Copies of this chain bind each other. A is one copy, B any other.
Amino acid sequence: MENSETLLALAEAARNAASLVSSLSTGVKDAVLDQMAHELHTRRECLKEENKKDVQQAEQQGMSVSMRDRLSLSDTAINAMIKALKQVSSLKDPVGEVVRMWRRPNNLLVGKVRIPIGVIGIIYESRPNVTVDAASLCFKSGNAVILKGGKEAFRSNQALVAIMHDVLNKNGIPEAVIQLVPLVERETLYALLSLDTYIDLIIPRGGEDLIRAVVEHSKIPVIKHYKGVCHIFVDASADQAMAESIVLNAKVQRPGVCNAVETLLIHEGCAATFLPLMVSSLRAHHVEIRACGRCRTLVHDLQEATEEDWYREYLDLIISVKIVATPEEAIAHIEHYGSMHTDAIITRDYGNAQAFLQKVNSSVVLVNASTRFNDGSELGLGAEIGISTTKLHAFGPMGLEELTALKYVVYGSGQIREG
């Protein structure tokens, strides 16, 4: 069978399975997720075996150590997947929730009810844990899912999906509810992105290049974020010890993630004391600093930031630093150079805090807290399938609710429309 025919058959099967998975009871879904967690534990040796082949091949092909780390399924990584499955099982089922209900003057009772979206395509790169995370979130929210992982992780993904299929089979649920796309070239993947009759939503997870390619070629709605150029603005009135601790956390705890801070904006009113303090603290953690001209008059040996640097998501131990004259200048900088991902103010000033929260329209805006909190679990959604910086449908971390839609239900007693 041709690749594009395979994809079409796969998408049709997903569409057909969507109606079934949408009507599974919470009890059945939770039992299936718990059994998947159990099977993952039982079959971990065979899983590690398959993963080893992926890792060995990656090694032969010269993949970097850090990339191979992401690919590798250690016991810790498998335990994390098991924990994630159990956690999704414990989350509240969003399907069927009546969000609101009201009565009209003509006595019609109108409600909004949560339903699954239908068929969701997840396109991701080398990390095999996404396979289990995405499948479990889509399953719990009553959606059929089509998984397209990276070719480096193909054997690992196959092994994971085989385990999930066995559990589905045991429970009499069609395998088409969770499907893995066979290895295809990028051109064939684009064919998948044109199947808008069968697939309702695409969520790409990975580098900016992958995401741009998906958006460019998709006829299906895409929810995505390209990058996280996150800012922290340290206001004149900030508690400087708090500011230091938050900036450090946001930069060095996990520099390679999208909610790490990339640019530090400092109010001129506190720069003379805060900048030297922060510079020495960052340097102690091996962070490279790229600074504006004003910074360099305060701390002479700082490297100069280029115009380009203000747009950059370093994903590394590098930070841009700029002194601003007012909170308004900080907000304007964020609007111009930011990516609507995550931005924070550190302040003791009530008015500046409120103005920042109101005027900065990023998906998550924080006062006196680390940008690293832009995360589904941290904000209380239980888990997340990704972060959206598109304002439509979902903005910020996407949990189970964001994998659903709301339909209107109307209870009448014979009403007809007059005008």
Check B410–A369 contact: CB distance below 8 A. yes
Residues of B within 8 A of A378 (CB): 104, 417
Check B414–A407 contact: CB distance below 8 A. no
Q: 18 additional contacts, CB 8 Å, given A365-B408, A372-B417?
A: A23-B358, A104-B380, A110-B380, A239-B414, A246-B416, A249-B416, A249-B417, A357-B409, A363-B407, A366-B409, A368-B411, A368-B412, A368-B415, A369-B416, A373-B415, A392-B392, A392-B405, A396-B406
Chain B: minimal CB distance from A222 (Å): 8
Residues of B within 8 A of A415 (CB): 368-370, 373
Chain B: minimal CB distance from A400 (Å): 15
Q: List 22 A-B contacts (CB under 8 A).
A: A23-B359, A104-B379, A113-B357, A115-B361, A115-B391, A200-B391, A215-B219, A248-B416, A253-B417, A357-B409, A365-B408, A365-B409, A365-B410, A366-B411, A368-B411, A368-B415, A369-B411, A369-B414, A372-B416, A391-B405, A393-B393, A395-B405
Docked pose: A126 CA to B223 CA in angstroms: 33
Residues 28-42 of chain A: 1 if any B CB is under 8 Å from the residue's CB, otherwise 0? 000000000000000
Q: Is A390 at the interface (CB under 8 A from chain B)?
A: yes
Number of A interface residues at 8 Å Cβ cutoff, please give it: 66
Check A369–B108 contact: CB distance below 8 A. yes
Q: Is A128 at the interface (CB under 8 A from chain B)?
A: no
Q: Is A201 at the interface (CB under 8 A from chain B)?
A: yes
Given contacts A108-B369, A372-B416, A379-B104, contact A393 B392 (CB under 8 A): yes
Docked pose: A247 CA to B50 CA in angstroms: 60
Chain B: minimal CB distance from A404 (Å): 9
**Closest B residue by C-beta to A372:** B417
Interface residues of A (CB under 8 A from B): 19, 22-23, 96, 102, 104, 108, 110, 113, 115, 117-118, 200-201, 215, 219, 221, 223, 239, 242, 245-246, 248-250, 253, 335, 357-359, 361-370, 372-374, 378-380, 390-393, 395-397, 405-417
Docked pose: A410 CA to B242 CA in angstroms: 16
Docked pose: A64 CA to B112 CA in angstroms: 40
Check B246–A408 contact: CB distance below 8 A. no
Docked pose: A367 CA to B405 CA in angstroms: 20
Contacting residue for A335 out of B19, B335, B408, CB 8 A: B19
Chain B: minimal CB distance from A294 (Å): 26
Chain B: minimal CB distance from A183 (Å): 29
Docked pose: A226 CA to B19 CA in angstroms: 22
**Closest B residue by C-beta to A392:** B393
Given contacts A249-B416, A414-B369, contact A221 B392 (CB under 8 A): yes
Chain B: minimal CB distance from A60 (Å): 34
Most buried by B among A253, A369, A379: A369
Check A391–B117 contact: CB distance below 8 A. yes
Residues of B within 8 A of A397 (CB): 408
